[in-house]
Amino acid sequence: MVLLLRRMTPIIGNIIYNANPPSLLASSRCYKKMGKRQMTDDGGEVPKGKKGKLAPPPMSPKELWEAMTLPEELEGSMEFKPVSSNKEGIPWNLKIVSWNVNGIRAVIKKNKLGYFKSEDADIICLQETKCDDGDLPPETSFYGYHRYVNCATKKGYSGTAIYSKVEPLSIVNGIGVAEHDDAGRAITAEYETFYLVNTYVPNSGKKVVNLPYRREWNTALLSYIQGLDEKKPVILTGDLNVAHNEIDLKNDKTNHKNAGFTDEEREDFGKILDAGFVDSFRHLYPEQEAYTFWTFMMNARGKNVGWRLDYFVVSQRLMGAVCDSLVREKVMGSDHCPVMLLMAEGSGTKEEGNGVAVDKVEGAVDKVDKVEEDQENVKQSENLTISDSEDEAGDVKQGEDVKEDEGVKKPVETVPEPVVEA
């Protein structure tokens, strides 16, 4: 009986194979039997995995991306297409997400990578990937994105990455200082209208033993982004490893001498803001307590005993395009949660001129003056009286319509908005 079953095994295998399409067999990890060797459909030998088990057929980046699912805890609890607009009422058209993943392979093992598919950001910035470019798992290919990675020379340490649907004009690793650039802590993507700097700032360490080096890094980073800002606006994002004000951490009174909340670190962050940059979240939500980091110890996340260490800091002249700056505190998988920036790219962008912010549209001021002059001419020639509310609006802001009495048939003129291409 045993001998008969052995002889029938190849026959049974062929029957199963012929009765099922290859795709079904592959999905169930079944393969055609040919003697004692496992063979693929094209005649190649199936590679073996650990402990002699058959390895599943490799999936393409598209298949891996489509197979990702939203983590259960996020189902129905998060709005992935929030309604938001800038002060001019223009809805957002650019979404940037930043997340310190504390090891990209750990996020994969926890089945949390599907968050990125559902978020559908235009640009994704990761910190502390802890993985060399050549060792990145296939799940990190992110179908539909261009991937750029800056790895540390030390394996399994630090590391930053940028994923972008639109190919950047250029990519630069580091901040231009050799002693700071061997840990993969910064990567910059240049786009048509801004620079995006993704960074993982060094921690000052226990008993702040690394504080002197940390301050050197802070100085170098500020110099770097100031140099970029002279060319075009800058978006600085990532784990900046500092809680700027007391509102940015739960236990501020007991942490004044601990890494991330020392006077020196907070002072250095203040220098960034003094140099013409804005903490977008705190600007929009000056009184809101929100955290982006919780230690794994003592159920800190469950108790919401955290720190706000992750930021989107933008050039002052770019704030007009900012629609919202959000904290995705419900996303699990790391000791940090993602932060997100929504922008209406193509609006509200200003650039500095002789120390004064001026609109990018050439001749905008002349157009405003002409509108005011036309108002005065119409008023005098037709003896019309403009209402008090309209008179108070004499200082026409860019983009605002110039309203006149109904009796005037002169068309309403508007100052064109600056156009910023993606």
Q: Catalytic residue, from 115, 145, 195, 200: name it.
A: 200
Q: How confident is the model at residue 67 (pLDDT cuts 50, 70, 90)?
A: very high
State the DSSP string of 236-300: EEEE-----SGGGBS--TT-TTSTTS-HHHHHHHHHHHHTTEEEHHHHH-TT----SB--SGGGH
Q: Within a domain: residue 7?
A: yes
User: pLDDT at position 23, please?
Assistant: 40
- Judge whether 200 counts as a catalytic residue: yes
Q: Is the pTM of this model over 0.85?
A: no
Overall average pLDDT of the 105-123 stretch: 96
- What is the band of 10 on the pLDDT scale with cuts at 50, 70, 90? low
Domains held by the chain: number: 3
Please indicate, yes or no, whether residues 190 and 247 belong to a single structural domain of this protein: yes
Would residue 359 count as lying in a domain? no
User: Average pLDDT, whole number, for the chain?
Assistant: 80
Whether residue 387 is predicted with pLDDT greater than 50 in this model: the reply is no
Output the CA torsion 92→95→96→101 (10° steps). 140
Q: Are residues 237 and 339 in the same domain?
A: yes
260/388 same-domain check: no
Domain that residue 347 falls in = 61-353
To the query of whether residue 335 is one of the catalytic residues in this protein, the response is: no
Of the residues 31, 115, 224, 239, only one is catalytic, namely 239
Q: How confident is the model at residue 3 (pLDDT cuts 50, 70, 90)?
A: low
pLDDT-wise least confident of 10-14, 192-196, 376-380: 376-380
In 3-state terms, what secondary structure has residue 418?
coil
Give residue 312's pLDDT. Answer: 98
- Same domain assignment for residues 6 and 135: no
Query: Do residue 270 and residue 125 come from a single domain?
Result: yes
Please tell me the least confidently modeled range out of 54-68, 154-168, 181-195, 240-254: 54-68
In a shared domain, residues 24 and 92:
no
DSSP letter string, 313-367 = EEEGGGGGGEEEEEE-TT--SSSB--EEEEE-TTSS-EEEETTEEEESSTTHHHH
DSSP for 335-348? SB--EEEEE-TTSS
The answer to whether residues 292 and 389 belong to one domain is: no
| Residues 387 and 320 both lie in one domain | no
Same domain, 267 and 338: yes
